[in-house]
Amino acid sequence: MFRPKLPGTPHVPSITTHIPQDHAPAPSAGRSVAPFVGVGAGAVAAVVVVGVVLTALLAAVAVSAVSVAIAAVVLRSLVTGANRR
């Protein structure tokens, strides 16, 4: 009674293609795929290195901000304590 009624999903026919296994792939126009794979791997490595460096810089800024905030609180308490005396 309280269960939601979901509409039925229509049947979508799957499309399959037949690739014969006895034929070798056609050779390209004399170009090798290896340089493109190297460029892709180099780009991924560069993105990972840049990400690590940016994360380290962000962590350094956060630690510096926390230490400056703590120093400001300590100095404020010292100045306030000196004015009360």
Query: How many other C-beta atoms can be found within 10 angstroms of the C-beta atom of residue 62?
Result: 10
State the maximum Cα–Cα separation within the chain, in Å, rounded to a whole number: 96
| Predicted local distance difference test score (pLDDT) of residue 66 | 97
Instruction: List, for residues 8-60, the tens digit of each pLDDT value.
Output: 777 666 666 666 666 555 655 566 655 556 567 778 888 999 999 999 999 99
Sign of the CA dihedral running 19, 20, 21, 25? negative
Is residue 4 classed as helix, strand or coil in its secondary structure?
A: coil
Give yes or no for residue 70 having a pLDDT over 90: yes
* Distance from C-alpha of 73 to C-alpha of 38, rounded to nearest angstrom: 53
